[in-house]
């Protein structure tokens, strides 16, 4: 999904035929063919002409609006087919407790395994990794084992939360005190690491929503 990120404050977006143009103070900052864009992510105060918005809607190019700090405002999308049959199937599946717990388990397991794998990879890249990291990686491995046997939603949620806490403890140990990262803080992010995490999660969510 080719995504165009717009960050130049005060810029204006227009279309010239089948090309998207971004201008500021009369100068063209960038010009791209619409066929090469699937999504536009807008940070802060950037203007769009009405013809440009119509053209983007016609070409099914999604526009995501964020604050300058990365907080989500909303999405502009064109007409999409209703997918009635798909929605009905989703609702039926959601009413099946065996199916929902199996999907939830796989999501939690995927998250825990990826957290552990990333910390292991970062550990290998360090000449002298912090001692605390071994404990975190071991704790995540044990949490994976428990999640594989978990049968209830509340149990899975508790394991996911515990795993997240240990994962961020591992990141804190790797980063050290220079970045000021002590724990995951969302509202508002309290340090540069939390700002980047929140921004990354916001952008990832928009990609997920675009294919749901």
Residues 148, 103, single domain; the answer is yes
CATH number, domain with residue 16: 3.100.10.20
Cα-to-chain-centroid distance, residue 104 = 19
Retrieve residue 164's tokens: 């997240």
78-126 pLDDT, tens digit per residue, is 776 667 888 888 888 888 888 999 999 999 999 999 999 999 998 888 7
9 plus 54 within the same structural domain: yes
Q: Assess if residue 91 is contained within a domain.
A: no
Q: 113 and 70 share a domain? A: no
Domain that holds residue 34: 3-76
d(CA 159, CA 172): 20
- Residue 200 maps to a domain: no
Q: Is residue 201 part of a domain?
A: no
Q: Is residue 147 a part of any domain in this protein?
A: yes
Domain assignment present for residue 189? The answer is no
| Within a domain: 87 | no
Summarised one tens digit per residue, pLDDT across range 123-177 is 888 777 787 888 999 999 999 999 998 888 889 999 999 999 999 888 888 888 8
Number of domains in the chain: 2
Please report whether residue 205 resides in a domain. no
Considering 76, 91, 115, which residue would you say is the last residue of a domain?
76
CB 109 within 8 A of CB 148: yes
- Last residue of a domain, which of 76, 91, 107? 76
């Amino acid at each position: 999904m080719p995504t165009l990120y717009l960050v130049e404050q005060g810029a204006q977006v227009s279309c010239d035929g089948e090309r998207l143009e971004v201008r500021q103070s009369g100068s063209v900052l960038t010009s791209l063919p619409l066929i090469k864009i699937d999504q536009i992510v807008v940070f802060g105060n950037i203007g769009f002409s009405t013809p440009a918005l119509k053209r983007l809607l016609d070409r099914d190019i999604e526009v995501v609006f964020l604050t300058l700090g990365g907080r989500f405002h909303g999405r502009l999308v064109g007409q999409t087919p209703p997918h009635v049959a798909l929605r009905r199937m989703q609702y039926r599946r959601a009413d099946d407790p065996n199916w929902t717990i199996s999907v939830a388990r796989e999501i939690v397991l995927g998250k825990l395994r990826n957290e552990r794998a990333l910390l292991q990879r970062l550990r290998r890249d360090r000449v002298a990794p912090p001692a605390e990291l071994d404990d975190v990686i071991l704790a995540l491995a044990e949490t994976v084992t428990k999640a594989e046997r978990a049968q209830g939603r509340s149990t899975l949620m508790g394991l996911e939360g515990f795993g997240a806490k240990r994962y961020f403890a591992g990141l804190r140990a790797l980063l050290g005190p220079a970045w000021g990262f002590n724990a995951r803080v969302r509202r508002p992010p309290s340090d540069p690491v939390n700002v980047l995490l929140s921004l990354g999660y916001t952008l990832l969510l928009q990609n997920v929503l675009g294919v749901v």
